[in-house]
Amino acid sequence: SQQGEEDPQALSIQEGENATMNCSYKTSINNLQWYRQNSGRGLVHLILIRSNEREKHSGRLRVTLDTSKKSSSLLITASRAADTASYFCARVLFSGSARQLTFGSGTQLTVLP
């Protein structure tokens, strides 16, 4: 079963506004990652935050992690029409040399020009 769930399921904003997506999970993690998927394409890794980190930035992306609440948020600032895509969080658990990712159901972001 999927143990990472994003909300909202869909988000529609105007270009230039900020977009915030949330992710909750149920079990422990080694790290948490966010991915982006354009329609009909593969996923692209955006950012990784380790379990001992609370906040991380990459360009217009800001990710927070609260392990006590088992939640993470992804903020995209000054959104652009090209940011329109589905965004997924993935809980990462190390199991020997394997790296198991459990994906949430995603947030569909639409940025209107």
Partner 1 sequence: SQTIHQWPATLVQPVGSPLSLECTVEGTSNPNLYWYRQAAGRGLQLLFYSVGIGQISSEVPQNLSASRPQDRQFILSSKKLLLSDSGFYLCAWSVLAGVGEQFFGPGTRLTVL
Q: Considering the rule CB under 8 A, would residue 109 count as an interface residue with partner 1?
A: no
* Type and span of the H or E element at 92: strand 85-95
Q: What is the DSSP string of 22-40?
A: EEEESS--SEEEEEEE-TT
The reply to whether 99 sits near partner 1 by the rule CB under 8 A is yes
Per the omega criterion (within 30 degrees of 0), is the bond before 8 cis? yes
Bridge partners for 45 per DSSP: 35
Q: Provide the β-strand partners of residue 67.
A: none
Residues 4-23 that bind partner 1 (CB under 8 A): 4
Q: Does 79 bind partner 1 (CB under 8 A)?
A: no
Residue 38 engages partner 1 in binding (rule: CB under 8 A): no
Task: Quote the CA–CA distance of 77 and 60 in Å, as a whole number.
Answer: 5
Q: Cβ closer to partner 1: 16 or 41?
A: 41
Q: Which of 20, 60, 101, 110 binds partner 1 (CB under 8 A)?
A: 101
- Contacts to partner 1 by CB under 8 A: 2, 4, 30-31, 33, 40-45, 48, 50, 88, 90, 92, 94, 96-106, 108
